[in-house]
Amino acid sequence: MSTLLPNFINGQWQNGTGSGTSLFDPVLGTELVRVDSTGLDLTAGFNFAREQGGQALRALSYRQRAGMLSAAVKILQANREAYYEIATANSGTVKNDTAVDVDGGIFTLGTYAKLGESLGDRHFMLDGEAARLGKDPLFQAQHVLTPTRGVALFINAFNFPSWGLWEKAAPALLSGVPVIVKPATATAWLTQRMVKDVIDAGIFPAGALSVVCGSSAGLLDALQPFDVVSFTGSAETATVIRSHPAVVQKSVRVNIEADSVNSAMLLPDATPGSEAFDLFAKEVAREMTVKSGQKCTAIRRALVPEAHYQAAATAIKERLAKTVVGNPRNESVRMGALINRAQFVTVQEGLQYLKEQTEVLHDGASHPLVDADATLACCVGPTLLGTKNAQGSDMANRVHDTEVFGPVATLVPYRDTAHALALIRRGQGSLVSSLYGNDPKTLANMAIELADSHGRVHVISPDVAALHTGHGNVMPQSLHGGPGRAGGGEELGGIRALNFYHRRSAIQASTNVLSAFNPA
């Protein structure tokens, strides 16, 4: 029987009392490890984190906590090779895709270490200038931000077991808030190993960092009023979290990142053969294949002027045809597997659902698998669908409503820019939309038009062809999240990420008292 991974809770490593859930290699089908959280005393574990971890973290300054983040970066970098091996085995990702997760997580942690250094030796932050409350300026109000005296519970998705951990944990720990992470069961191995390496190094105080692998049963029940929850996953699970008594009755603060039918738009001035057109085709193909399309920010709808539909289809198809699919251990393979058999079935079903309202422009089934048994491997070739014409774009409601979480995208022709904007907004709020064109003024106007319904608008013009960070890449300096069906949450965005882990309060006092504030 495979190894059972221990949980770290209440300041100690503990095995669950059950037989555990097995994690598998999605290409070879072999059992890797097991996880189990049955029988853990979660209430005691949460209390330990609040009382021991929280108190110890809050006693430190932002600069001191930033130093701990820097130390964690060094530990993670030293064990990077092991993380790549785990990702290959458990996530079925090629090296470049593993880098997005592993190196992206370490980079994000390092970024917050540097931001924390800039905050200095303070223990709280001022929020704006003092405000006069009457005619006499002697009595004023000063808003302050202080770390919440609770725990940060993270319930993460399967697609980014490294980045999903550290993009949440970095600002929480820097804020002085202890972290309890519940990784998605299917890929919990990498998260558990990273947490273990950091804990074994003795970097953070006891109770500052905990990990629970396996079932999430009971986690929400252990929450108290000053705790916070950050969730990445399905809209259905998000609804369960939002309706839990801890949220409804105790006002536990919640951040949600849910489904997102993201879009990319080719502007009319980006004609076939132009650099902007080529950038669009390249990015659509890349977003379809990176991590086998298992990215919450991946392009799901690619909008093009109706007159450019066939040219765009040809350009994207030519790029997709070169994608080698199969075992990530083979150096020739450029796209690995979906995470497991259940996801494989879900993607196949979603693909068939979309095909009923679209045409197939590039069939993923045309890709032979390299070094992989098609009866075992959870590999799916990239599939490009299309709605044929602008009228079809209006009629294909499934394209605008359904996110197939795999290497699937739909080419959507539009009549004019007003029509394109209307089609994009049928996504009901997304994490990201990207624009491709030449004229700065037009691109700027379109970006502002889309800003209200997207967490991020990624604008690509020829002058940034070699500089832009990519439609789907989430940078720690920029906001991640989105309104509407995307969950309504916000993460990252530089120092802004710390707001979620702080409480804003107004202190009304004499200017003599307010002047005595010393954030350091």
So which residues are the catalytic ones?
Answer: 257, 296
Q: Return the bridge partners of 256, or none.
A: 231
Break the chain down into helix, strand, coil percent, rounded to 5: 40, 20, 35
* Cβ proximity of 72 and 198 under 8 Å: yes
- Maximal CA-CA distance, the chain: 79
Q: How many CA atoms lie within 13 A of 186 on its CB side?
A: 16
**How far apart (Å, rounded) are the C-alpha atoms in residues 372 and 92?**
11
Q: How far apart are CA 421 and CA 108, in angstroms?
A: 32
Task: Tokens for 237, please give them.
Answer: 């699970």
Question: Any idea what the Cα angle at residue 454 is, between residues 225 and 360, rounded to 5°?
Answer: 120
Strand 31-35 versus strand 21-24 pairing type: antiparallel
Q: How many residues does the chain have?
A: 520
From the CB of residue 247, how many other CB atoms can be counted at a distance below 10 Å?
A: 17
Are the beta carbons of 106 and 122 closer than 8 angstroms? no
**Where do runs of H (alpha helix) occur along 120-209?**
163-175, 188-200
Tokens of 354: 């979309």
What angle in degrees, to the nearest 10, is found between the helix axes of 95-119 and 163-175? 10
Side chain identity, residue 384: L
Answer whether 14's CB lies under 8 Å from 213's CB.
Answer: no
Q: Please state, in angstroms and rounded to a whole number, the distance separating the CA atoms of residues 392 and 396.
A: 6
| Residues near 207 by beta carbon (within 8 Å), at least 6 away in sequence | 11, 48, 49, 50, 51, 52, 53, 54, 56, 178
- Report residue 467: phi and psi, to 5°: -115, -30
Secondary structure letter of residue 335 according to DSSP = B
Task: Of 119, 207, 130, give the one whose Cα is nearest residue 171.
Answer: 119
- What single-letter amino acid sits at 282? K
Question: 3-state SS string over 247-293?
Answer: HHCCCCEEEEECCCCCEEEECCCCCCCCHHHHHHHHHHHHHHHHHHH
